[in-house]
Amino acid sequence: MSMSSIHNRETVGGRMQAFVQELQRTIRSAIEEMDGQAVFQEDAWVRSGGGGGLSAVLAEGAVFEKAGVNTSVVYGELPEQVLADLLGNVSGADTRSFFATGISLVFHPRNPHVPSVHANFRYFALGDDLAHPVNQWFGGGADLTPYYPVLKDIQHFHRTWKDVCDAHDAADYEAFKKRCDTYFYLPHRGEARGVGGIFFDGLREAPEGTFAFVQEAGKAFLHAYAPIVARRRHEPYGEREQAFQALRRARYVEFNLLYDRGTKFGIDTGGRTESILMSLPPVARWEYDWTPDPGTPEARLQWFLQPRDWLSLPSGSDAP
């Protein structure tokens, strides 16, 4: 892939690159203001095979123990096995030249009553010319991982994504929600990582319309998450809640290391390890054969860890 092609801001890929870099600046500024104490540390990196990125990590804040907002633009030649894993029987397997750009963010709050959150939005193209790629597609999504869930918060999160999806022909909330429920699932635990959201990949049709949807989704992230933080950040907690938070964070680690395709792709294509593993929480805990006592707030979480039609539940309803 030629350098002139890579830096052509008129292509979908070039415009996506510009969008995620601007979104990174917007989200970083909002999170620093929300936290009020810590600031992001910038870390620019270069990929040996072509391209690089900018990792931005905030640590030991007043609201967030760890927050990461990373962007990347990488290109070059894909290993044959990675190409096969990506495409299967989809057209484009006759070229190994690729271009990928995206934004990935993960926030792990200090207060156990504030959920962790993850989102990413990405673009991938095959071929030597970004103006005429052999194949191109978008992927991404957002999901919420509460420790002491509140239905009002979950419904706000899902309503935000449904409103975004409903405004675009390229998006389907019901399908994206189902895919999120399926993807962010730990089969060895028999439970979801959290309460879902939306997840999409391989969106190849109508690239301009899909790009418009991805832009609106990226811009909607703060609206989906910030009100939840504002409602829960001052709720009291103690050692019990912190210990439970650490146990649940361990499930987050298990998913990311065992099942997450983005983690595997980053490692397999020579991405920067520190940036790839930015998603992991600062503290996690494994305790042998731990189960919550019946009737406790900790036991109540299990009701939320099975896929549900959150928006159809009456607003006054809650877990049994």
What DSSP string describes the chain?
Answer: --HHHHT-TTSHHHHHHHHHHHHHHHHHHHHHHHHSS--PEEEEEE-TTSEEEEEEEEES-SSEEEEEEEEEEEEEE--HHHHHHHHTTSTTTT--EEEEEEEEEEEEESSTTSPEEEEEEEEEEESS-TTS-SEEEEEEEEEEE-SS--HHHHHHHHHHHHHHHHT-TT--HHHHHHHHHHHSEETTTTEESSSEEEEEEEE-S-HHHHHHHHHHHHHHHHHHHHHHHHHHTT----HHHHHHHHHHHHHHHHHHHHT-HHHHHHHHTT--HHHHGGGS-S-----TT--PPTTSHHHHHHHHTS---GGGS-TT----
CA 304 to chain centre: 19
Q: What is the CATH number of the domain that holds 298?
A: 3.40.1500.10
Query: What gap in Å lies between CA 57 and CA 60, rounded to an integer?
Result: 10
Residue 113 among the catalytic residues: no
Q: Closest Cα to residue 225, out of 150, 112, 117?
A: 117
Specify the length of the chain in residues: 320
Query: What gap in Å lies between CA 37 and CA 23, rounded to an integer?
Result: 21
Catalytic residue among 7, 108, 113, 118: 118
Confirm whether 320 is domain-assigned.
no
Confirm whether 317 is domain-assigned.
no
Q: What is the 3-state secondary structure (H, E, C) of 257-294?
A: HHCCHHHHHHHHCCCCHHHHHHHCCCCCCCCCCCCCCC
Give the chain's domain count: 1
pLDDT at 86: 66
> Which residues, in sequence order, are CB contacts of 137 under 8 Å at separation 6+?
123, 124, 201, 202, 203, 204
Please say whether the beta carbons of 99 and 13 come within 8 A.
yes
Query: What gap in Å lies between CA 138 and CA 123, rounded to an integer?
Result: 5
Query: What gap in Å lies between CA 40 and CA 56, rounded to an integer?
Result: 6
Domain containing 148: what range? 3-312
Confirm whether 100 is domain-assigned.
yes
Confirm whether 45 is domain-assigned.
yes
Q: Closest Cα to residue 278, out of 112, 62, 118?
A: 118
Please say whether the beta carbons of 202 and 176 come within 8 A.
no
Confirm whether 250 is domain-assigned.
yes
What is the pLDDT tens value at each position of the chain, 320 positions in all? 444 455 566 899 999 999 999 999 999 999 999 999 999 999 999 988 889 999 999 999 999 999 999 999 999 987 777 766 666 555 555 677 899 999 999 999 999 999 999 999 999 999 888 888 989 999 999 999 999 999 999 999 999 999 999 999 999 999 999 999 999 999 999 999 999 999 999 999 999 999 999 999 999 999 999 999 999 999 999 999 999 999 999 999 999 999 998 888 888 877 788 888 889 999 999 999 999 999 999 999 999 999 999 999 987 666 65
* Long-range contacts of residues 81-89, Cβ cutoff 8 Å, at least 24 apart: 81/268, 82/265, 82/268, 82/269, 86/124, 86/265, 87/135
Confirm whether 195 is domain-assigned.
yes
